[in-house]
A and B are shown apart, each in its own frame.
Chain A
Amino acid sequence: AQSVTQLGSHVSVSEGALVLLRCNYSSSVPPYLFWYVQYPNQGLQLLLKYTTGATLVKGINGFEAEFKKSETSFHLTKPSAHMSDAAEYFCAVTPGAGNNRKLIWGLGTSLAVNP
């Protein structure tokens, strides 16, 4: 079975500060991991993904995440927050093999960016 835990339902940072959104997962098989962003009144958009290979993955809008198997973590970071980063962020996991493409979702983290 798989599960995802996002620590902190609300995170607030100042513009220009580091963004760190935490995601821990559990999976009995090698996972594929994803971060999605949702802006108000819009659908979810893929930020970045980890499948295999390099454990540090870079995504859109300056975000990156590092897959740490030993810590079962996939935390999302951005060195310098921008006002436009204010949104809801979701971490998700799916089995890395087979035909099960069901994503298991975290509950989301709402990011506020203060001027």
Chain B
Amino acid sequence: DAGVIQSPRHEVTEMGQEVTLRCKPISGHNSLFWYRQTMMRGLELLIYFNNNVPIDDSGMPEDRFSAKMPNASFSTLKIQPSEPRDSAVYFCASSRLQGTTEAFFGQGTRLTVV
């Protein structure tokens, strides 16, 4: 399996622009997680889905952030409009609901908002 695939790996955008991050989970996994990692705040869970349904979005910082999972093989995290404080590494992870359920992480998207 190719693992969790995220795109793009790096994104530089200007403040106010819309940013869309993409994630393809591991085939057969039915839980998907979006995380944000910064030096100041560490690893934060933004939102997670079970069977394509958002279960907990309490970590989404504000209405500028939105996430979708239209099918089992694709998810997006959108920031509109972006701000410099959104600069971070964003990780997507997936796991199975059944069994021992360890999460597998993608390589991350490093977002820089200037």
Contact = CB atoms under 8 A, between A and B. Distances in A.
B105 A44 contact: yes
Interface of A: 32, 34, 36, 42-46, 49, 51, 90, 94, 99-103, 105, 107-108
B4, B45, B93, B102: most-surrounded residue (chain A CB, <10 A):
B102
A52 to B, nearest CB: 9
Contacts of B56: 102
B75 to A, nearest CB: 15
B107 interface: yes
B110 to A, nearest CB: 8
Interface of B: 4, 31, 33, 42-43, 45, 48, 50, 55-56, 91, 93, 95, 97, 100-108
Interface class of chain B by DSSP: strand
A32 B104 contact: no
Contact of A102 (B48, B104, B105): B48
Nearest to A9: B42
Contacts of B45: 102-103, 105
A99 B50 CA distance: 8
